[in-house]
Amino acid sequence: EAGVAQSPRYKIIEKRQSVAFWCNPISGHATLYWYQQILGQGPKLLIQFQNNGVVDDSQLPKDRFSAERLKGVDSTLKIQPAKLEDSAVYLCASSLLQGPYEQYFGPGTRLTVT
């Protein structure tokens, strides 16, 4: 079974530039999550999709971050414009459904904003 795929693995940009991350979840998984993990902290949920609908985006800085999962499969997270404090690892995860199901994580994208 293929795991969660993410790209790119690394990205370095200057502040005020834009960046996009891509995630392809495990086939058949209805729920997709984007997390931000700042060094030394646990992952923080940015947005959660159930199929192509948003379940929770309460911690997504909507003035600069956006995410979509148009066909209920892969997803894109965008930052525009980036700030220095956006430097982090962005993790994508998927689970079979919402509820008592474990999440499967991709390798993450390490973003450095200079």
- 61 touches another protein by CB under 8 A: no
Q: What are the φ and ψ backbone dihedral angles of 85, each rounded to 5 degrees? A: -75, 0
Q: Per CB under 8 A, which region of 18-26, 50-58, 63-71, 80-88 contacts another protein?
A: 50-58
Radius of gyration of the chain (CA): 13
Q: Name 83's bridge partners.
A: none
Should residue 105 be labelled a site residue for another protein when binding is judged by CB under 8 A? yes
For residues 19 and 93, which CB has a smaller minimum distance to another protein in the complex?
A: 93
The binder of another protein chosen from 58, 63, 70, 71 (CB under 8 A)? 58
Q: Which of 20, 29, 52, 56 binds another protein (CB under 8 A)?
A: 56
- In angstroms, rounded to a whole number, what is the distance separating the alpha carbons of residues 50 and 79? 21
Q: CA–CA separation, 36 vs 16, rounded Å?
A: 19
